[in-house]
Amino acid sequence: MKKLQVELGDRSYPIYIGAGLINQAELYTQHIKAKQVMVVTNTTIAPLYLDKVLKNLQGFTVETVILPDGEQFKTLETVTHIFDKLLAGKFSRNATLIALGGGVIGDMGGFAAACYQRGIAFVQIPTTLLAQVDSSVGGKTGVNHPLGKNMIGAFYQPQCVIADADVLDTLDDRQLSAGLAEVIKYGLIRDLDFFEWLEANINALLARDKQALAYAIERSCINKAQIVSEDETETGVRATLNLGHTFGHAIETGAGYGTYLHGEAVAIGTCQAADLSRRKGWLTDADVDRIIALFKKCNLPTQPPEQLDSDRFLELMAVDKKNVNGQIRLILLSKIGVATLPIDVDKDLLIQTLNTYGRK
């Protein structure tokens, strides 16, 4: 087992990475301070892993909430079901919430924990590659709004993250690829060596080679933990984790939540950001081709949906947390392995990308 640390003073916490961790009771119990525990999961994950988790919680008073599965259910209304269960069960302030699932469950469970009685402890047990390498680390929690992705939420850090690589065995190939999009992101924004490692090892990752996956999870979490420790609330460098996300969120919202997986939308958005970086004179044609080629190898989409024209893209991109005074701000690449901080983009160049990149 590897143990990394997110350094945030008295709110620091460990990330455990390894095989079979979901069965290690002491990992949970050392982070649960009182009797009441609420496990939040969904209808897909419950039959696979809920019993394994419950087995480790003997001696605690445990209840469960099993939510519907899907990005389209990442809403305030769904979070209300968690509050209903916490209140009906008379959960008090020293209770712990365990979020068992992918990024959707982690974001909603964390948000419920942040809000219930103004904050109860929570533990992240991420079960997708995307959640293990990104969403479970760093304390961004929240839900979508029909007008904008992740627009309602809170920064709220967990007590620990338990990333068990074995649970990825049941993840389908499309979801694995979506997780790889966020893995590639770390290489692009700050870790050229890792990007090159990914180019060399992508077939092993797609074949689910355990060693390769464990390395990719660990290296991604090291990058994420460093960024979060430096800039918890995204006043600076944390924004680089949003490479491709402003385009990607517009695609998710515009196409309807759940049509594209988050990682798929991020893959397309990152290619659009690379194209814009090329128009700025920062990336070469060969750099852009190299980035697109890696996403394609992962079987990820790289072209924006036809129904989103530039006007609709601009409308959707105007609802983004990085924007200031209504001005769209984007993360671009000054080269492969180095991201910019959010920059005001020249609207003509952006429109060129929106009208040209990936269009027939």
Residues interacting with ligand GLY, by CB under 6 A?
A: 134, 138, 140, 238, 241
Partner touching 100 among ligand GLY, ligand NAD, none, CB below 5 to 8 Å by kind:
none
Q: What residues from 254 to 273 belong to the interface with ligand NAD (CB under 6 A)?
A: 261-263
> Out of 242, 278, 322, 329, which one is annotated catalytic?
242
Contact (CB, 8 A) for 328 and 320 = yes
Using the minimum distance from each CB to ligand NAD, give the nearer residue, 154 or 351: 154
β-pairing verdict for 338-339 and 160-164: unpaired
Partner touching 44 among ligand GLY, ligand NAD, none, CB below 5 to 8 Å by kind:
ligand NAD
The verdict on whether 234 is a catalytic residue reads: yes
Partner touching 238 among ligand NAD, ligand GLY, none, CB below 5 to 8 Å by kind:
ligand GLY
Strand partners, 4: 15
Contact (CB, 8 A) for 17 and 214 = yes
Cα(233)–Cα(247) distance, rounded to whole angstroms?
21
| Chosen residue from 44, 61, 226, 323 binding ligand NAD by CB under 6 A | 44
Write the secondary structure of 241-308 as one string of H (helix), E (strand) and C (coil). Answer: HHCCHHHHHHHHHHHCCCCCCHHHHHHHHHHHHHHHHHHCCCCCHHHHHHHHHHHHHCCCCCCCCCCC
Q: Is 244 in the site for ligand NAD (CB under 6 A)?
A: no
Partner touching 219 among ligand NAD, ligand GLY, none, CB below 5 to 8 Å by kind:
none
> Out of 185, 224, 278, 279, which one is annotated catalytic?
224
Single-letter amino acid code for the residue at 88: A
> Out of 185, 262, 322, 329, which one is annotated catalytic?
262
Token pair, residue 295, equals 């996403």
Q: Is 135 in the site for ligand NAD (CB under 6 A)?
A: yes
336 vs 179, 194, 219, 237, 296, CA distance in Å? 20, 11, 17, 16, 17
Cα(146)–Cα(103) distance, rounded to whole angstroms?
18
The verdict on whether 81 is a catalytic residue reads: no
Using the minimum distance from each CB to ligand NAD, give the nearer residue, 178 or 354: 178
- Helix (H) / strand (E) containing 60: none
Using the minimum distance from each CB to ligand GLY, give the nearer residue, 78 or 135: 135
Partner touching 42 among ligand GLY, ligand NAD, none, CB below 5 to 8 Å by kind:
ligand NAD
Q: How far is the CB of 43 from ligand GLY (least distance, A)?
A: 25
Instruction: Based on DSSP, count helices (H) and strands (E) in the chain, helices before strands.
Output: 13, 13
Using the minimum distance from each CB to ligand GLY, give the nearer residue, 159 or 223: 223
> CB within 8 A of 80, min separation 6: which ones?
none
β-pairing verdict for 36-42 and 61-67: parallel
Q: Which positions are catalytic?
A: 118, 140, 182, 224, 234, 238, 242, 245, 249, 262
Q: What does the binding site for ligand NAD look like in residue numbers (CB under 6 A)? A: 42, 44-45, 48, 69, 71, 74, 101-105, 107, 127-128, 130-131, 134-135, 138, 140, 150, 167, 170-171, 175, 178, 261-263
